[in-house]
Structure 1
C-alpha cells in the first residue's frame, strides 16, 4: 500500500525518467565530451597530440621501433666500413641503444605493456639525455671519412626520438581564444547569419502564404497538401544534387533562364560568383524547407475558431483586418515555433552547402558547420574544432533566447 502511494505521488518523476536518460546519453554526454576535447590541442595527424595528455608521456612502441631501425642501419654500416675507429664507434652506439632498451624496460615500461605510459619529469630528462647522447655519437660516427650505407636515412630515423616524448597538450581556454580571433570564423559566421536571415524571412513569407491557401476549403485540397510537402520529404543531399544540375553552367535550366532574364551574366556565373552562389543556396533552401514552415503554420491556423472570423465579418471587418487582428495574434505561438526551428536549422546548415558549392568559390559560401567539419575531419584538429562547435552551441542558445524575448511568447503559461 505504501509503495503504491509512493508511486502515485511520484508518478510524474517516474514517467520522465526515460526521457531524462535519453537526453543525458544523446545530448548532454556529447556536449561534455566536446567540452573536454576543447581544452586540449588534440590533432589526430600528430603522434604527440593524438590523444588528451595532462602529463608527460612516452610512446614506447615508437621508441622501440626507432631503436630497431637504428640497429638495422648500424649493422649494415658495420659490414661496409673499413676503419677500426668506425667499428668501435658503431659498437659504442649499439651498446648505448641496448642500455636505452634496458632502462626503458626497468624504469619506464608498465607491467601491462602499454604503448604509451606516463613518466615523471626526472625519468623524462634521463630518457631525453640518453637519446641525445645517441644522436651526438651518430654525428661523430658519420663525421669519420669512411664508407657508410646511408647516413641521411639513419639521421631521419634518429630524429623520431623527438616524437617519442609526448608532452602535455592541455591548453586551457586557448582554443576558444583562437576561435574568437580567427578571421575565417568571423567570415563564416557573417555568411551563416546572412544566409539564415534571408532564407528564414523568405520561408516565413512563402510558408505563411502556402499555409493560408491550404487552410481554405477547396476541391483537391488534400492533393495540394500532399504535393506541397514533396520538396521537404526529399533528403537534403539529394535536393542539393538536383539543384546542382539545375545550376550547371552548360546545361542547367535555372542558370540558363536566369541568364536570359538578366539576373546573371552567364550560366557558369551561377555558382562561380560569391553573390550568385549565395542566392543559389538560398533559393534551393527556400524551395526545400518552405513546406516545413507551411506545415507548422497550418497546424496553428487550424486551431483558430471559425466563429471569430464569422463574428468579425458581421461587424464589418475586412479580410486584411481579420488577418491582422485575429490570425496573426492567435498564430503567434506557431510562428515562434516555426521561426525558432527553422532559424536553428538554417544556422547549422551543412549538407546543402557542402554538396552544392563545397564552401566555394574561395570560401565565400562556407558556413560555420562546413568550416568546423573541415577543421575536425580534414585537418583532424579535434580540440580546435570542438571549441568552435561549442561556441556555435552558445550562439544557437542566444538566438533562441532572443526569439523568446523578442516575440514575448508565453509557451508554458507563466503569464496566466
Structure 2
C-alpha cells in the first residue's frame, strides 16, 4: 500500500489542463478562464451623475446654504440614455438623474433633496465642491484593463463584469468528459425491480453528480455485470472521454473483475492500494488511451475517495490548482479518539460553533463505510494521520469540509 499523499502525486501527475474553447458569455457560468478577460471599453465611458439632482458649476454655488440658497436658471435635463447636448454656463443648472452624462461645463451634482425647483429656476441650498457626486470616466475600469485572470472559475458576478466590459465571448478550458461505470450483479438502478440478493445502485449517480458540480460532463455507462464480457463491453463506452471512473470490482475477491479484465486490454496501473480508511481498494492507471480511476464499491468509500482523488483531477483538467487556496481547516475535538493504525483515517463528523466562536467537531459513533445516511448528514471529515496518537477532547484536529465548498464549484 502507498500513502494518500503518494497516490495523489501519482494520479495528478497524469493530468494537465484541457485545451481552450470559446463560449458565449451566457454559457460561461462555472467555466474556468483559459485567457484573461480584458475590458473592451471604459466604464463609465463619460463623466456621470452618482445621484439624482442638479448638474451645476461648483463655483456658482460656493456660497449656497439652506438659509441663503443660490438661484440658477434651469436650462434642460440629462437622463440615462438621453444626454443634455448643450453646455452649462455661469448661473445655469441642468436637471440630472443617476447614471446620466454630466453636461459640458458642469463639474458637480447637488442632490435633489437640497434643491427646490419650479418651471424656470432651481434654488440650490447647499454648496458642493467640484467633482461632488460625479463618477468620472474610467471610474470603474478602462479599456484594455485586465479584469479577470486566467484560471478563474466564473461566478455570476464575473459574468456580469464581463458583460459590462462588452466581452461577449470567453476562452475557457473544455469541460472534462468523465465516463462512470458501476459494476456488480448485486446492484440495480433506482426504481427497477430488486432481486432477492440485490440492492439499489447509489455510487454511479453520486459520482455523476459530483462530476457535474465540479464543472465536468458525466456519462453514466450503466451497470456492468460480474462477467469479463460485460465489464469489457461496458468499459468500451469510455472511448473519447478524458477519464473512466469505475466503482466496485477493484479489490481482489473472486468477483472483483475490473482489474483483470482491463489488464487484458493493456491497462497499466500506477496505484493499486492506498493506506487509507475508508477506501483502501483504489486503483489508477490507463485503459488503452483513457486514464482509469477505480474506486471502491462501498458507498461511503466511493464518496471519500472521490473527494480526495477525483475532485482534484477535475480541477486540474479545468486549469485550476488541485485544491482550494485556503490552507488546512482545524476544529476542536469534542470527544476522545483512540490511537490510529497504519492507515490514514477519514472520520465522518458534524460541526458546531462553540461559545468562543470556534468550531467544534464530533465524529459519528459509527464509521462503517456502508452508512450512507450518516455520510449525507456529515459536515466534514476528520483527517487522522497514520499512527496518530490518541487525541483528547479539546485538541485541534484537521478537517475537510463537506459543505460550503468541498463538493461545490
Q: Is this a same-fold pair by TM over 0.5?
A: no
Which structure has the larger Rg over C-alpha atoms? 1
TM-score by length of 1: 0.28
Larger strand proportion of the pair: 2
Larger helix proportion of the pair: 1
TM-score by length of 2: 0.28
